Amino acid sequence: MNTMNTSNESRIKTVRDLKELLEHVGVDIMSLEFDFNSLKEKGTCYVVQCICYSDDDSTSVFWKEEDAYKSMIEDMETEITNLQDGGYEFVSSENDTSAEVHVPDSDIYYEWEIIETDIQ
C-alpha cells in the first residue's frame, strides 16, 4: 500500500504552498468556495489526504480538526458501504489522525490521513 508523507517536507508554509498542493492533487481551486486572499493571518489548518487504488486521490482542507476527522470518517463509511454492497470482505482501522480500508489479497485500498499544518 502507498504511505502518505508526514515529514516536515509536507508542511504548508504559505497560502501559495496550499494552492500548489491542492493543484498538484487535482483540485480546481477556482471552483472552491474559498477566498484564499482572506488568509491574512497565520493559522493552523488540517489537511485530509486520501490515497486509493483507483488513483482517485483527494485532498480537503479544514480549519477545525474535528471537521477534518468527521470528513475522514464519513468518507471511510461511504467506502465501507460501497465495498459491502459489492460483496467484498474488507479490513478497516482508524485512529485520531488516520484511517484505512483494504480488501485482503487485492489491490483495493483506501488510506486517509489528517495532517496538521500551519499557514504563514
Q: Is the pLDDT at 22 greater than 90, yes or no?
A: no
Which carries the bigger pLDDT value, residue 43 or residue 94? Answer: 94
Domain ranges of the chain: 8-119
pTM, full prediction: 0.65
pLDDT reported for residue 54: 81
CB atoms within 10 A of CB 26: 11
H or E element, residue 22: helix 15-24
Cβ atoms 59, 49 nearer than 8 A: yes
Q: How many angstroms separate the CA atoms of 93 and 41, rounded?
A: 36
Cα separation, 91 vs 84, whole angstroms: 11
Q: What mean pLDDT do residues 83-108 have?
A: 95
For residue 42, the model assigns a pLDDT of 60
Q: Do 39 and 29 form a contact (C-beta atoms < 8 A)?
A: no
Distance of CA 22 to the CA centre of its chain: 11
The gap from C-alpha 7 to its chain's centroid, in whole angstroms, comes to 15
What average pLDDT does this structure show over 80-109?
Answer: 95
pLDDT digits (tens, 9 = 90+) for 45-90: 899 999 998 878 888 989 889 999 999 999 999 999 999 999 999 9
Q: What are phi and psi of 4, to 5 degrees?
A: -95, 150
